[in-house]
Structure 1
């Protein structure tokens, strides 16, 4: 069995890998994302998410395959990460309602045995419901949108506010299983060896 380490504290990614039947451990990467972005100044959501995914994977010492992930929403010509503050989340939702954006998830898989690493960015178009101000305020008050890219989840309370998607559902959760399988294979491992 190949060992996998998820360099992420995201509950959604943890549940996703568990439900996919994978055996894995979890570690906090401890990467200062804001400092790294300020220093390297990525220009596109693809560059941003891959940069942060790679930094997270390479920040964790391990003897296994280490997976780093990062997500961002591209909406209205802007790259939107986690809003952190209720006012920011509410303002974003007032802009996004009835519109669509693209959710990007960057993946970096680092093989600690060989030192090799490979990356992939996936994107899915997300169509948002036309919520009322009251619905937005109540959703933001739950706290759920504050610590997630784009100020929404598809696998939690926010799922009711996503009218449809075009692309990979797991990308919107924050980790594409298809991309993970491809990266594992690219590094010369058998994806099925990750199954519990």
Structure 2
């Protein structure tokens, strides 16, 4: 009987790791360290698709060149008993990327607290778009599929004091657009039109459909 492919998540994001566990499938974590620069003027959907695929491809190269990749010890307990992914083990590598866009301007992760303040000052009281790209690669055959999801998010109007108090919590510092829809940031998210989990960082609906293309059924 052919061994069930393991899902190999090319991400260090705790949010994506938590979401992919919800699928109830075997998962390993390998951080890609991929270059995240893109050509200026790249459309948002193309940008997240490129970056998601690049992250997955980077992990694929790690697996081919090292023969075994260690899973970070702090994740091993949550994602299975094995701490290594062996070269040739059947697996689907999953990369993901998320950006926030308002009026054609792309907002990624802030570089510091002031940058986070500037982002939130711009996004507050407005409707913006969150784009998340997902890429899946069969590490044995190289077959791949890529998809992007767009969701509209409305934030309430905020005072400078409210924004600075939120930034002071530290929550915005590793989030695209400088807010967490699943955290304290939810207190000023008025509306989400579309895929909530895509805003968090990984659309489970889109991913489950993509995995079906590789013969993997989500329980």
Scaled by the length of structure 1, what TM-score is found?
Answer: 0.91
Alignment match, 1:27: 30
Moved more, 18-27 or 3-12: 18-27
- Check whether the contact 1:44–1:79 (CA below 8 A) recurs between aligned residues: no
- Check whether the contact 1:108–1:118 (CA below 8 A) recurs between aligned residues: yes
Compare CA radii of gyration and give the structure with the larger one: 2
Question: How many residues in Structure 1 have an aligned counterpart in Structure 2?
Answer: 188
Aligned CA-pair RMSD: 1.4
**C-alpha distance after superposition, 1:21-51 (max 9, x if no partner):** 23211111011213xx2xx445111111111
Separation in 2 of the partners of 1:179 and 1:81? 22
User: Residue 178 in 1 paired to residue 205 in 2?
Assistant: yes
Separation in 2 of the partners of 1:44 and 1:143? 30
Moved more, 6-15 or 62-71: 62-71
Separation in 1 of the partners of 2:102 and 2:139? 36
Separation in 1 of the partners of 2:41 and 2:5? 33
Separation in 2 of the partners of 1:80 and 1:96? 10
**C-alpha distance after superposition, 1:112-147 (max 9, x if no partner):** 011111000001100001122111001111121121
Alignment of 1:59-70 (within 5 A): 59-61=58-60, 62=63, 63=89, 64-70=91-97
- Check whether the contact 1:4–1:25 (CA below 8 A) recurs between aligned residues: yes
**C-alpha distance after superposition, 1:76-98 (max 9, x if no partner):** 22111111211111011111111
Scaled by the length of structure 2, what TM-score is found?
Answer: 0.82
List gaps (5 residues or longer) in structure 1: none
